[in-house]
């Protein structure tokens, strides 16, 4: 089976999510047989490194235009035809989410969004697992067409080095005329995007005010973590809305989620309950977040957090 993973490389950097895609393809191939072809749209800088994470072949399709689902799906469908791909894997992010429906419709193939597993085969067809109802339940979806496209949830698989860099083959493809043009982008610079973060330190109304965020940021810095918050915190502008996690915010799946002064309302948990380890610091022993926590500290965060940061700094300096 040929597995085609799609990577948007227009910014000249390979992100962790891109390595995850190659490694996911490798893991599927390892279990069910086959090879991974990585299709890298954009400059192709460093694209050969995808070989280290499981790609057997890397194809660069040069493109320096705007993001456009029509152009991208034309390119992907042509590479899928050329390589004989049976499974196409997109990232479940702002690039892959708008693309998957368009591509599935263009190729008349099955699609599953936000997959989190290596599929099992039932009657020769793959069955993918995905979170539903704000990740409070799982659905198992069998694709029925010979070719399928899925989008992979970030942080579902930790990429591991399994091979060596490979040569990059360049294939020019005319994806047609774009149907939209991006005329401006405003983004937060220099931060790990929350959906890709390994560790997140998050604050709620228990932080009392924006002037206290220094202790949260200091803890985040020592852990190399991204920062997040509950919705009321961003609603009152203590923190930007780009940090708001939950049902109406960003859904995250870090390896470690540390919640400071967050009650654990169901709408907040909907965005974080797939984190691998959850640590809750709250002074109310009845706070609902403790039911979802792997570790909990019942205490005043203003006493515990500086101590925790100090201990972590000491631990790091001893190593």
Ligand X SMILES: Cc1cc2nc3c(=O)[nH]c(=O)nc-3n(C[C@H](O)[C@H](O)[C@H](O)COP(=O)(O)OP(=O)(O)OC[C@H]3O[C@@H](n4cnc5c(N)ncnc54)[C@H](O)[C@@H]3O)c2cc1C
Task: Enumerate binding residues for ligand X (CB under 6 A).
Answer: 204-206, 230-233, 246-249, 261-263, 265, 267-268, 271, 281-284, 287, 300-302
Nearer to ligand X, 2 or 231 (CB): 231
Q: What is the DSSP letter of 245?
A: B
Shortest CB 241 distance to ligand X, Å: 10
Q: At 315, list the tokens.
A: 């631990």
Nearer to ligand X, 105 or 267 (CB): 267
Shortest CB 280 distance to ligand X, Å: 9
Shortest CB 116 distance to ligand X, Å: 20
Nearer to ligand X, 221 or 300 (CB): 300
Contacts of 287 (CB under 8 A, 6+ apart): 263, 264, 280
Shortest CB 226 distance to ligand X, Å: 16
Nearer to ligand X, 148 or 281 (CB): 281
- Tell me which residue has tokens 């640590």: 279
Shortest CB 302 distance to ligand X, Å: 5
Shortest CB 90 distance to ligand X, Å: 25
Helix boundaries (H) for the chain: 16-32, 69-83, 96-107, 213-223, 231-235, 266-272, 289-292, 301-318
Burial of 229 by CB count in 10 Å (0-12 exposed, 13-18 middle, 19+ buried)?
Answer: buried
Residue 189's region, left for phi above 0, alpha for psi from -120 to 50, else beta, is beta
Q: At 220, list the tokens.
A: 């985040």
Nearer to ligand X, 199 or 265 (CB): 265
Nearer to ligand X, 298 or 312 (CB): 298
Question: What span, in angstroms and rounded, lies between the C-alpha atoms of 272 and 33?
Answer: 34
Shortest CB 153 distance to ligand X, Å: 18
Question: What span, in angstroms and rounded, lies between the C-alpha atoms of 219 and 171?
Answer: 46
Nearest CA to 72 among 46, 92, 102? Answer: 102
Nearest CA to 93 among 214, 7, 209? Answer: 7
Nearer to ligand X, 17 or 287 (CB): 287
Shortest CB 230 distance to ligand X, Å: 3
Nearest CA to 31 among 121, 146, 91, 96? Answer: 121
Nearer to ligand X, 21 or 207 (CB): 207
- Which residues partner with 128 through β-bridges? 141
Among all residues, whose Cβ is closest to ligand X? 246
Nearest CA to 144 among 122, 167, 163? Answer: 122
């Amino acid at each position: 089976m040929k597995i085609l993973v799609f990577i948007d490389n227009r910014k000249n950097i390979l992100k962790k999510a891109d390595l995850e895609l190659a490694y996911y393809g490798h893991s599927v191939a390892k279990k069910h047989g086959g090879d991974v072809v990585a299709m890298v749209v954009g400059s192709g800088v460093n694209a050969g490194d995808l070989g280290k994470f499981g790609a057997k072949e890397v194809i660069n399709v040069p493109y320096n235009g705007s993001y456009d689902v029509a152009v991208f799906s034309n390119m992907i469908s042509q590479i899928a035809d050329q390589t004989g791909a049976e499974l196409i894997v997109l990232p479940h992010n702002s690039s892959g989410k708008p693309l998957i429906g368009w591509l599935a419709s263009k190729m008349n193939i099955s699609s599953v969004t936000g997959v989190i597993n290596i599929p099992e085969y039932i009657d020769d067809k793959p069955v993918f697992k995905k979170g539903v109802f704000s990740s409070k339940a799982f659905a198992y979806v069998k694709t029925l067409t010979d070719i399928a496209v899925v989008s992979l949830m970030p942080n579902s698989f930790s990429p591991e080095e399994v091979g060596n860099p490979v040569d990059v083959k360049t294939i020019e493809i005319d994806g047609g005329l774009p149907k939209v043009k991006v005329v401006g982008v405003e983004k937060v610079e220099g931060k790990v995007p929350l959906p890709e973060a390994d560790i997140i330190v998050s604050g709620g109304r228990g932080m009392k005010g924006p002037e206290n965020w220094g202790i949260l940021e200091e803890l985040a810095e020592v852990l190399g973590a991204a920062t997040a918050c509950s919705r009321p915190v961003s609603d009152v502008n203590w923190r930007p809305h780009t940090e708001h996690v939950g049902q109406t915010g960003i859904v995250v799946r870090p390896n470690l989620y540390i919640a400071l002064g967050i009650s654990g309302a169901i709408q907040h948990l909907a965005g974080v309950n797939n984190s691998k380890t959850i640590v809750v610091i709250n002074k109310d022993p009845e706070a609902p977040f403790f039911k979802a926590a792997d570790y909990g500290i019942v205490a005043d965060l203003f006493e515990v957090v500086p101590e925790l940061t100090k201990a972590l700094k000491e631990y790091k300096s001893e190593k």
